[in-house]
Amino acid sequence: MIQDTYQRNGNKKVILITHSMGSSMALYLLNHQSKTWKDKYIRAFISLGGPWIGTVQALKTFAIGDNFNNPLVPASVFVTEQRSDASLAWLMPNLNYWNENEKLVEASNMNITKSNFEMFYNMLSADDGLNLWYDTKDLTKDMTAPDVELFCLYSTGVPTVEKLR
């Protein structure tokens, strides 16, 4: 699609604009292209709210589902489907960038940190989710810069899930 867009527009370089997980996907794509290819086809990469190191919101969605603030449908209606999405597994916290003692899930009987992260899936009896996480956790693990001009836009003042209790 990038090459087709380039050609259809008189061989003008393409500006990639991504949102949320699209930013991680574009980073993965760009890091698997040669410098020559990027120099020819890509003008810039604009990321809107890219979850570069994952998000605790993904843990919440996996644990109880997410109804995207729809007051008519309980979040639990979606949990089975959402747990089967590889995209949700890719949005889990990238443990290479979280502090060793930072609590991702805090409970009265145990806490989930990067050192015991697999327990999150075990407590939910979610072997399939754990396997999806294994399949996706290293896709952008080292956060290598894409070697193109990059603009990261994000918001402030928006409530963000930082930890589950």
Q: For 71-114, write each residue's pLDDT tens digit.
A: 999 999 999 999 999 999 999 999 999 988 899 999 889 899 99
Residue 150 structure tokens: 């990059």
Q: What is the pLDDT of residue 52?
A: 92
Q: Decide which of 146 and 159 is more confident.
A: 146
93-118 residues labelled b (16+ CB within 10 A) or e (exposed): bbbeebeeeeebbeeeeebbbbeebe
Q: What is the pLDDT of residue 103?
A: 94
Residue 149 structure tokens: 């001009």
Q: What is the pLDDT of residue 30?
A: 97
Q: What is the pLDDT of residue 121?
A: 96
Q: Which pLDDT band, with edges at 50, 70 and 90, does 4 fall under?
A: very high
Please state, in angstroms and rounded to a whole number, the distance separating the CA atoms of residues 11 and 8.
7
Entry pTM: 0.88
Q: For 56-69, write each residue's pLDDT tens digit.
A: 999 999 999 999 99
Q: What is the pLDDT of residue 140?
A: 86
Q: For 9-54, write each residue's pLDDT tens digit.
A: 999 999 999 999 999 999 999 999 999 999 999 999 999 999 999 9
Q: What is the pLDDT of residue 131?
A: 96
Please state, in angstroms and rounded to a whole number, the distance separating the CA atoms of residues 60 and 124.
12
Q: For 120-157, write each residue's pLDDT tens digit.
A: 999 999 999 999 999 999 998 888 999 999 999 999 99
